[in-house]
Amino acid sequence: MGGYVPFSRITAVLFRMILKVWAYSGLVLIVCFLLYYMYGGIFAVLLLFFAVTGKLCCYMMTQTLYKMSFLGILYQVQDSLLFNPELPSHSRVYVPIPSTFNLPYESIVTKTADGIQINMYLILQQKDRQHTAPTIVFFHGNAGNMGHRLQNCVGLYHNLQCNILLVEYRGYGLSEGSPSEEGLYTDARAAIDYLYARSDINHSEVIVFGRSLGGAVAIDLAIRPEYVGKVWCLIVENTFTSIPDMAKVLLGWRILQYFPLFFYKNKFLSYQKVKQLRIPTLFISGLADILVPPRMMLELYNRCGSIRKQILHIPAGTHNETWQIQGYYHSIAVFLQNCRLKSFAESDKRCESDTLKSMWTNVQDV
């Protein structure tokens, strides 16, 4: 999901859970010792009474409390397992800037509906193309910050001749707050609202792009009734069907298949949401992805409700580096060109089709 949490981090989180349970157990022992010290014989008699008459009941209650405590702690640490804004180190304090890659940009700070300030980079084409160029809204994976995606943006900017809005989720980079599923959805809506508040952007061609975790965010945005008319097309890359499905893959615990959905604090149920998609959608699947199984991308494609959907299989594409494979940008350009021609055919603007075709004819096959 942009950089899944390593096994060492999972071990560290589980170790912290064990320490918490140990601390609570130690606290209970101290309380018992103080009670015995203060009340002596009375306490001993009560213990004997419970041992004789309620041993089984107490055992069951104790086991239940331990299980509930364990599950409660595990529920609370799910955010730490899924969201990794501090990987690699210093990602919360240092965010690379587009000018490092000779990309003209504006640094944006906007406020979400729930009052959180998030940061964004708006990378703009030259003035003569800025107003007519499509704009890609880029939602990244679960680790690092938006600056770590700038090399990919160089290719998108020059090959697709698009403006790019890089969105920094809450709790990532220099954005305020802490990440959560609903929080990321709110951030995505704030990004679209910001674009539509500008008069120098082509609102008719807003492309929502999401990689890994960002794919789940993009899908949620694209199905919301109030935003369906604001999104021209959707591109998702190496994303998953749901967090419960990914937990089964990454942890390999058979018991997880019996856990109900409410056990999961973050769900990202993309496999259900794609059924509601109605806009043109491109699924980019790196078949060498060893984090998100490619079969999940195929499942999303098959479940997708859009009549204009396409899946692009890239045999050598890995989870985070599919964009480096030859033919990547060319394939996206073909998809966008088809979307544009279809849009203008539906609006009966055939006279402009030659101009439209020419925009992506010189895309480098890299």
- Return the active site residues: 212, 289, 319
Tokens of 319: 């989870």
Report the helix count and the strand count for the chain, using DSSP H and E.
14, 8
- Side-chain-side CA neighbours of 91 within 13 Å: the count stands at 19
Q: Closest Cα partner for 238 from 218, 255, 257?
A: 218
Spell out the SS3 assignment of 150-196.
HHHHHHHHHHHCCEEEEECCCCCCCCCCCCCHHHHHHHHHHHHHHHH
Could you list the beta-strand ranges (E) of the chain: 105-111, 117-123, 135-139, 163-167, 206-211, 233-237, 281-286, 309-314
Contact 123, 152 (CB under 8 A): no
Q: How far, CA to CA in Å, does 39 sit from each of 25, 30, 36, 53?
A: 21, 14, 5, 21
CA distance 129 to 359: 11
First-to-last C-alpha distance (Å) of the chain: 23
Strand order in the sheet with 281-286: 105-111, 117-123, 163-167, 135-139, 206-211, 233-237, 281-286, 309-314
Q: How many CB atoms lie within 10 A of CB 225?
A: 7
Half-sphere CA count of 48, side-chain side, radius 13 A: 6
User: Which of 83, 115, 110 has its CA nearest to residue 166?
Assistant: 110
308 φψ region: left (φ > 0), alpha (ψ -120 to 50), beta (else): beta
Q: Reduced to 3 DSSP states, what percent helix, strand and coil does the chain have, rounded to the nearest 5?
A: 50, 15, 35
